[in-house]
Amino acid sequence: MLMRIGGNDVEGVDSRWIDVKNPATGELIDKVPAGTDEDVSRAVDSAEAAFAAWAKKAMRDRGMILYHAAQKVRDQHKDLARLLTLEQGKPIRESIDEVRGYANILEFYAGISAHQQGEAIRLAHQGDCIVVHQPIGVCAAIIPWNMPVLIMGWKIGPALLAGNTMVLKPASSTPLTNLRLAQILEEAGLPAGVLNIVTGRGESAGEALVKHPAIRKISFTGDCTTGGKIRQIAGMHKKDVTLELGGSDPMIVMHDAAIDKAVEGALRGRFYNAGQTCTAVKRLYVHEKIATVFTQKLKERVDTLSVGNGLGSRIDMGPMISKEQREKILQAVEETRQKEEGTILSGGSTLKGSAYEQGYFYRPTLVSNVVPGARLVTNEIFGPVLPVMTVPDLDTAIREANTTQYGLGASVWTQDLATVKRVFDEVKAGIIWVNRHLTVPPEVPFGGVKASGNGRENGQHALDGYTQTRTLFLGW
């Protein structure tokens, strides 16, 4: 597929291409241009040209375009989900969830398009003020490969509704569904140039976008190290930046938890999307009173998970995105084994057999008795490996939960309100779930604290993040 700039399919300036491969089979699906500085400039020029007319439209009219696009996405959800599974690997059921989640986001922002209001402040003898929220201008969105469709929705929904125009750079391994979704938006009435997609690598197209002088705001989702670089560049150029970065969410299961429900929560929380989710359950702390029975039940469930090509029927977990990502997991588990930092209860290896040879599969892995300070608990493990730790009490669970640099999400599984209050007050995370994990509907502000980032996706908060407040002071 080609880049989408100014309403046209466009080749790259220097005719280099990036292969897009199916991570389940290694087969070439398509290729996209490896965008350069010049391609980024073309896209930014086109977004700048489209800005004035788009910003002038009534918010309700912009919302209607998002709404129509959502209906088209719903009509085509099977084809879109198939494309997503082909390029990303996740089971088709999860791709359908994600595509519908994208439509939900657009519908949510269409639905609140009548609610963006300013303020009037009466100052008696000094005069009166009118405060309005205006779009910022041309914004950049840089997104990762793990949930490319949902994250595209999180960024374009509020940004476009607020009246901004945008240049989006997909991850180089998963650009196809993003490109198709951009076409659908235009088919639904989005004027040419309002959303442009530049394909390419992070260090070239991504960095050029961050540095481009006409970009006023950058919304980035990805790794903490990349986020740090982007923050630095944005700071030098005095640009507004929202960073949605990595996480290592703890899940705390107390002795009064509904055990079977918590087991299912941990299973989905960790192994959904082959463990490649920012808010996956990455550390599990179980109260000692239930640890044996809980771990046994969890192991039984982990052992039933079927791994395979996401297009197959009854597949619970697909491949990882790439050889490099799988290599990181192989190394982390190997280190645990060699340093005797935990006991591998399930998995701990790749899969054998012809169905797995060309793909990047890894077995769902459960590791118990992981020692504090082990890499499995200090680093973000972005794959299907779940470390389980037994804790004697809530104090220990909270202390351990706070030991990493991350602060994206956390969950507590309990029937006790006092426990919930302590976890909410003391565990440092942007979102605390009670008796569930992972769910992030469009209404709910979402984002991290500590090294997990700043700013918020979703809800009114994200919309505010794509506006600037201006004041008219009337001195009578």
**Options 98, 207, 249, 341; binder of ligand NAD; rule CB under 6 A:** 207
**DSSP state string for 39-79:** HHHHHHHHHHHHHHHHHHS-HHHHHHHHHHHHHHHHHTHHH
How far, in Å, CA of 32 to CA of 175, rounded? 8
Q: Name the maximum alpha-carbon separation found in the chain.
A: 82
**Options 51, 108, 382, 433; binder of ligand NAD; rule CB under 6 A:** 382
**DSSP state string for 73-106:** HHHTHHHHHHHHHHHH---HHHHHHHHHHHHHHH
How far, in Å, CA of 265 to CA of 258, rounded? 11
Sheet strands side by side (includes 195-197)? 8-10, 3-5, 195-197, 165-169, 138-142, 215-221, 240-244
User: Measuring CA to CA, which residue among 174, 376, 202 is closest to residue 275?
Assistant: 376
Cβ closer to ligand NAD: 139 or 254? Answer: 139
Cβ closer to ligand NAD: 164 or 226? Answer: 226
**Options 7, 153, 157, 222; binder of ligand NAD; rule CB under 6 A:** 222
| Residue nearest to ligand NAD according to CB distances in the complex | 202
Binding residues with ligand NAD: total (CB under 6 A): 31
Cβ closer to ligand NAD: 107 or 380? Answer: 380
Minimum separation from the CB atom of position 335 to ligand NAD (A):
19
**DSSP state string for 149-184:** HHHHHHHHHHHHHTT-EEEEE--TTS-HHHHHHHHH
63 near ligand NAD, rule: CB under 6 A: no
360 near ligand NAD, rule: CB under 6 A: no
Build a one-symbol-per-residue string for 409-448: x at contacts with ligand NAD by CB under 6 A, - elsewhere. Answer: ---------------------------------------x
**Options 206, 269, 275, 359; binder of ligand NAD; rule CB under 6 A:** 206
Cβ closer to ligand NAD: 42 or 212? Answer: 212
How far, in Å, CA of 225 to CA of 230, rounded? 9
Q: Which of 244, 341, 380, 457 is catalytic?
A: 244
Q: Do strands 28-33 and 17-21 pair parallel, antiparallel, or not at all (unpaired)?
A: antiparallel
Q: Does 400 participate in catalysis according to the annotation?
A: no
Build a one-symbol-per-residue string for 271-300: x at contacts with ligand NAD by CB under 6 A, - elsewhere. Answer: -------x----------------------
Using the contact rule CB under 6 A, the part of the chain among 43-51, 195-203, 330-338, 395-403 near ligand NAD is 195-203
210 near ligand NAD, rule: CB under 6 A: yes
Q: Give the end-to-end CA distance of the chain in Å, rounded to a whole number.
A: 58
**Options 9, 19, 38, 203; binder of ligand NAD; rule CB under 6 A:** 203
Q: What secondary structure letter does DSSP report for 134?
A: E
87 near ligand NAD, rule: CB under 6 A: no
408 near ligand NAD, rule: CB under 6 A: yes
Using the contact rule CB under 6 A, the part of the chain among 217-225, 384-392, 395-403, 465-473 near ligand NAD is 217-225
Please check whether residue 33 is in contact with residue 39, taking contact to mean a CB–CB distance below 8 angstroms.
yes
Using the contact rule CB under 6 A, the part of the chain among 25-33, 80-88, 164-172, 301-309 near ligand NAD is 164-172
> Which two structure tokens, joined as six digits, stand for 39?
């391609």
Using the contact rule CB under 6 A, the part of the chain among 9-17, 68-76, 83-91, 137-145 near ligand NAD is 137-145
Could you give the angle at which helices 77-88 and 148-161 cross, rounded to 10 degrees? 120
User: Measuring CA to CA, which residue among 450, 306, 315, 299 is closest to residue 388?
Assistant: 299
Buried b vs exposed e over 211-235: b needs ≥16 C-beta within 10 Å? bbeebbbbbbbbebebbebbbeebe
Cβ closer to ligand NAD: 226 or 365? Answer: 226
Minimum separation from the CB atom of position 278 to ligand NAD (A):
3
Cβ closer to ligand NAD: 162 or 171? Answer: 171
Cβ closer to ligand NAD: 202 or 384? Answer: 202
Residue 58: Cβ within 10 Å count: 11
Q: Cα–Cα distances in Å, from 474 out to 121, 133, 295, 381, 469?
A: 10, 17, 66, 55, 16
Cβ closer to ligand NAD: 168 or 367? Answer: 168
Return the residue matching tokens 């938890």: 257
Q: Does 244 participate in catalysis according to the annotation?
A: yes
How far, in Å, CA of 350 to CA of 356, rounded? 9
Strand partners, 169: 142
**Options 146, 219, 273, 309; binder of ligand NAD; rule CB under 6 A:** 146
202 near ligand NAD, rule: CB under 6 A: yes
142 near ligand NAD, rule: CB under 6 A: yes
Binding residues (CB under 6 A) for ligand NAD: these are: 142-147, 169, 171-172, 201-203, 206-207, 210, 221-223, 226, 229-230, 244-247, 278, 380, 382, 408, 448, 453
User: Which of the residues are catalytic?
Assistant: 244, 278
